[in-house]
Amino acid sequence: MSDSDTDLLDEPRRDDEETPADDTSVTLREVAGSTLQRDDQEKPADDTPQYPVLSVPADGLPALTDTWPALAKTQAALARGTGPIAFDTERAATYRYSNRAYLIQLRSPETLTCLIDPIAFQNGRELADLSAFGTAAREREWILHAASQDLPCMCEVGLRPTRLFDTELAGRLLGLRRVSLGTMIEHYFGLSLLKEHSVADWSQRPLPESWTAYAALDVELLIELRDKLATELASVGKDEWAAQEFAYIVERHLEPPEERPDRFRRLTGSNQIRTRLGLAILRELWTTRDQIAEDLDRWPGRIVPDHALTAIALLANNGKAPSAGDVRSLAEFRAQRSRVFLRDWQDAVARAATLNEKQMPPMRAPRIGPPDPRNWEKTNPQAYARLLAAKPRVVSLAEDLVLPGENLLSPATLRALCWDAPAQLDSKTIEFALSGLGARKWQCELVAPVLAHAFAAL
């Protein structure tokens, strides 16, 4: 969520969050047989609980599933079983160009924990096709933590759920202050997960045992966590809200997401560029780096950092394209490592310099959705008044319901409604408008009457 989103709908916080007792006498049976590693260090001065560390999978370290017979065996077991299946993935986001899965973890009662190596099943293709495997589990509920992070890389190898339970989103709907998997395991089980391999290069082979143990533990208690959350959601009457949210996530990932246009404008320092020539240079540099990164399957920031590309484009603030010597003399390219692709950057600048005015990007990016609310008071005072009236009402309702404001209604949806409001501002009309903007039924029914009351006072 952007800073502007936070400003418009601040997330309510709970001061009465329960924390598990610091009980280092937990037995192996009490945590599904998982081996515990206890931390005998003294508590910090602030009395932060020291939880036993979950260090070894209960059923031992599973072997990597990297052959078709092993995959077929797991697939057959899933097809025979019932009940939820826990999933997780490991990627190499800051090492590789793609955000593909380099390890897929699952756990179910009939398979226990299984670690699938999708790279082993590529068969010369760019991506593995695990759709047959996904079909075997298709009718069962899939459990993921922060599903929107894992589903894109799962879907591209054919793993698409029809039913979902997102434990992170469930925690948000319950008003938990911290919803990372680690903190939720601490909250509900009084155990701590190790996280030292969360940003590792999972594309490397062979995978160290400590890495596969870490990966296996991410799904070790996910089914049990789901059960606790489902019970709690039902007890506070939020289970139907959660069901609608989970269905919405599944629907959103039926098709690959659209790429954001003008991604070069998001580079650090791009807002300091003052000429269209500078933007044209930045666009050409970004495109060149992206192609090199894709060819080498390397994260773009490891080819050359964003600020180095921006530094080149800023040289055009005087209205003239920088020369090859100007690029070479920049401090960002004095080190030998940064000069590996120097000629590519120089050629990119030269190509941009040949563009005419019509071919250069505009100074302002094409607007998608309402403009920045900071300008509304002058450009659309009625919309500005609606937003000022709506914001505190939505925040107050979210606090009463004990959930974050952005989960009650996304800031983007609220801004869109206020900017281009329907002619009639009664509850039913607002509910219909919110639905058209993507809000779920439970959100529409709760928020529409509040907004209608707020707008009526204007």
pLDDT in tens, 262-289: 899 999 999 999 999 999 999 999 999 9
Q: Do residues 163 and 210 share a domain?
A: yes
* Structural domain span for residue 281: 263-359
Q: Do residues 273 and 415 share a domain?
A: no
Q: Does some domain include residue 237?
A: yes
Q: Does some domain include residue 2?
A: no
**Phi, psi angle pair for 434, to nearest 5°:** -65, -40
9: pLDDT strictly greater than 90 = no
Overall pTM > 0.75: yes
Q: Does some domain include residue 329?
A: yes
Domain count, the chain: 3
Q: Is 227 left (phi over 0), alpha (psi -120 to 50) or beta?
A: alpha
- pLDDT the model gives residue 435: 97
- Across the range 31-46, mean pLDDT stands at 39
Q: Do residues 74 and 21 share a domain?
A: yes
Which CATH number goes with the domain that contains 345? 1.10.150.80
For the chain, what percent of residues have pLDDT higher than 70? Answer: 90
- pLDDT the model gives residue 46: 54
Of 103 and 124, the structure prediction assigns the larger pLDDT to: 103
Q: Do residues 230 and 295 share a domain?
A: no
Which CATH number goes with the domain that contains 107? 3.30.420.10
Q: Do residues 317 and 378 share a domain?
A: no
C-alpha distances (whole Å) from 93 to each of 147, 203, 211 are 16, 10, 16
215: pLDDT strictly greater than 50 = yes
